[in-house]
């Protein structure tokens, strides 16, 4: 009986480990209007294939979990693309996600001139217009935990304060990953976990604007929620859903003080102190 239990437990751990190493990205949503289609076997299509391959290779050694690319000489055939991985995932998971996205986006969005696909782990998009360093708030979508909050008034207060905090902290990062996490005490037993992220090609103010709008789009009165746009995303849950030590390892925890003016000290290529205020 007990050895049987041990065996099934070991098997369970085996499968958990297996699942962790061979992780298939969790598909969330895709968006690709069928209003603009490209001609099969056109230059646009071959440029798109080259673009997706280039992004997929870039993901294999992108420390920032982000890259953009352009393929093609002349505007009608030029394709622009980028990917962004969630700030706490490692390069292998990021690279797997983009590689899956590369195949998936062509299947889900056949002959589409403009597409975006989201997974839990990454986002991949391409377009026939310039998208690098451009803040894009549409299309957007939200997801929510089905459970309701028992004290929504206090919950929303804690949530908004925490989201303001991570919006400011994610925005000020001027290089590398534009991501921030925070935990807050909702009740003595329940902790709120939050994450905000922008594509790192955005300016401080673009990222701030994108995340502020995302806060307004978050579901109200729910135990968890997410908001996604092509340029930024936010999530909150009453359980830890990210790898906090991976985020902590990015840069030393920013000294985030509520009063002094913007001051960023750069030393040896690493931002050591990030102090910023938006109020
Ligand atoms: C585009 O999508 C709409 C709605 O999904 C569908 O009704 C329409 O037939 C599609 N058009 C083409 C050209 O596929
Ligand atoms: C596109 O090219 C492939 C292989 O080169 C061919 O099989 C297919 O029929 C072509 N499609 C069109 C619409 O020309
Ligand atoms: C949450 O509240 C909504 C509306 O107030 C209700 O329709 C829904 O059934 C509730 N969900 C749960 C899990 O209690
Ligand atoms: C949350 O509560 C714990 C103990 O109840 C405390 O140690 C911790 O500092 C609190 N965290 C925040 C962010 O207030
Ligand atoms: C979390 O991140 C740390 C630092 O990058 C890494 O060593 C650890 O394996 C990660 N944990 C999980 C469960 O992925
Ligand atoms: C920064 O660079 C200097 C000289 O280039 C070196 O002595 C110092 O150890 C470096 N500091 C860190 C934190 O890497």
Cα gap 42→33, rounded to integer Å: 19
Q: What is the mean pLDDT of residues 123-138?
A: 96
Taking 60 as the threshold, does the pLDDT of residue 265 lie above it?
Answer: no
Confidence at residue 250, expressed as pLDDT on a 0 to 100 scale: 83
Over the range 242-273, which residues count as b (16 or more CB within 10 Å of their CB) and which as e? beeebbeebbeebebeeeeeeeeeeeeeebee
20 SS3 class:
helix
Confidence at residue 270, expressed as pLDDT on a 0 to 100 scale: 30
Tell me, yes or no, whether 6 lies in a domain.
Answer: no
pTM score, whole prediction: 0.80
Taking 60 as the threshold, does the pLDDT of residue 269 lie above it?
Answer: no
Reference 173, options 149, 143, 152, 204; nearest CA is: 204
Cα gap 253→274, rounded to integer Å: 9
Q: Which of 157, 185, 187, 238 to mutate to test the pocket of ligand 4 (most atoms within 8 A of CB)?
A: 185
Mean pLDDT of the chain: 85
Place 251 in a pLDDT band, splitting at 50, 70 and 90.
low
Tell me, yes or no, whether 135 lies in a domain.
Answer: no
Tell me, yes or no, whether 256 lies in a domain.
Answer: no
Query: How far is the centre of ligand 6, averaged over its atoms, from the C-alpha of 170 (Å)?
Result: 26
Q: For residue 73, which phi and psi values (nearest 5 degrees)?
A: -90, -45
Confidence at residue 279, expressed as pLDDT on a 0 to 100 scale: 25
Domain-terminating residue out of 78, 105, 127: 127
Tell me, yes or no, whether 66 lies in a domain.
Answer: yes
Query: How far is the centre of ligand 1, averaged over its atoms, from the C-alpha of 125 (Å)?
Result: 21
Tell me, yes or no, whether 196 lies in a domain.
Answer: yes
Cis before 139 (ω within 30): yes
Cβ neighbours, 10 Å, residue 27:
15
- Same domain, residue pair 39 and 119: yes
- Same domain, residue pair 147 and 189: yes
Q: What is the mean pLDDT of residues 53-72?
A: 95
Phi-psi region of 73 (alpha: psi -120 to 50; beta: other; left: phi over 0): alpha
Place 106 in a pLDDT band, splitting at 50, 70 and 90.
very high
3: Cβ below 6 Å to ligand 3?
no
2: Cβ below 6 Å to ligand 2?
no
Cα gap 65→200, rounded to integer Å: 9
Could you tell me the residue range of the domain that residue 78 belongs to? 25-127
21: Cβ below 6 Å to ligand 5?
no
241: Cβ below 6 Å to ligand 5?
no
Nearest atom in ligand 4 to the alpha carbon of residue 184 is 13
- Same domain, residue pair 200 and 243: yes
Place 170 in a pLDDT band, splitting at 50, 70 and 90.
very high
148: Cβ below 6 Å to ligand 3?
yes
Number of domains the chain is built from: 2
């Amino acid at each position: 009986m007990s050895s049987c239990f041990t065996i099934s437990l070991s098997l369970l751990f085996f499968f958990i480990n297996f699942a962790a190493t061979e992780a298939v990205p969790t598909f969330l949503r895709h968006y690709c209007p069928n209003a603009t289609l490209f001609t099969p076997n056109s230059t646009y299509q071959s440029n798109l294939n080259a673009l997706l391959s280039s992004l997929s290779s870039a993901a294999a050694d992108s420390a920032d979990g982000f890259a953009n690319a352009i393929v093609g000489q002349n505007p009608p055939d030029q394709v622009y693309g980028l990917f962004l991985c969630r700030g706490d995932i490692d390069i292998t998971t990021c690279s797997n996600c983009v590689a899956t996205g590369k195949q998936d986006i062509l299947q889900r969005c056949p002959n589409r001139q403009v597409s975006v696909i989201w997974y839990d782990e990454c986002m991949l998009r391409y377009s026939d217009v310039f998208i690098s360093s451009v803040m894009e708030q549409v299309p957007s979508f939200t997801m929510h935990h089905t459970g309701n909050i028992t004290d929504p008034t206090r919950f929303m207060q804690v949530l908004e304060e925490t989201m303001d905090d991570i919006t400011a902290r994610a925005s000020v990062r001027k290089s590398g990953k534009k991501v921030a996490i925070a935990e807050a005490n909702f009740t003595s037993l329940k902790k709120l976990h939050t994450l905000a992220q922008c594509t790192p090609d955005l300016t401080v103010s673009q990222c701030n604007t994108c995340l502020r709008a995302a806060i307004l789009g978050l579901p109200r009165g729910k135990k968890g929620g997410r908001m996604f746009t092509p340029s930024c995303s936010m999530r909150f849950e009453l359980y830890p859903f990210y790898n906090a030590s991976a985020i902590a390892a990015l840069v030393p925890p920013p000294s985030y003080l509520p009063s002094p003016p913007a001051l960023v000290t750069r030393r040896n290529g690493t931002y050591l102190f990030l102090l910023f205020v938006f109020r």
